[in-house]
Amino acid sequence: MLPFFSHDYEISFAIGGVMMLLMYGLLVALALLSVLQIALHKQPLPVWTKKAVLIAALALLLMALTIVGILLFNLYSEPVVSKLMGIAALLSLPILAVMQWIFVLLAWALLHPIDTFL
């Protein structure tokens, strides 16, 4: 009975891996399509204001600090916790790219008092 279940898990993991490769392949194709449109001048380039540059730079800094924090937590935690949390931390890193809007919102919220003052 046990080999039957382990075989099902292998199939499930294989299907999951194929789905992840398909998802990343589609994301890469969309990114390449955007680059191609910009290169062919079919898509206008955005105009970056100083405020937008500051918000984007602060959001990238916050995301970088979060990644460093996750990696340092993994490095300096106890061995038992490190193994489990390390796997969770490394699996959470790709999710941060999808959740970039949270860092942009946080950066905007941090800069909003300065914006209203000026």
Q: What is the pLDDT of residues 69-109, one digit of tens each?
A: 877 777 776 666 666 766 777 777 778 878 889 999 999 99
Task: State residue 76's pLDDT score.
Answer: 72
Task: State residue 60's pLDDT score.
Answer: 93
Residue 48 has pLDDT above 60, yes or no: yes
Any residues with CB less than 8 A from the CB of 82 and at least 6 apart, and which?
74, 75
Task: State residue 97's pLDDT score.
Answer: 78
Mean pLDDT of the chain: 79
**In the chain, pLDDT over 90 holds for what percent of residues?**
25
Task: State residue 2's pLDDT score.
Answer: 46
Q: Using CA atoms, how far apart are residues 17 and 23, in angstroms rounded to an integer?
A: 10
Neighbours of 63 (CB within 10 A): 19
* Per-domain residue ranges of the chain: 1-45, 46-118
Task: State residue 79's pLDDT score.
Answer: 67
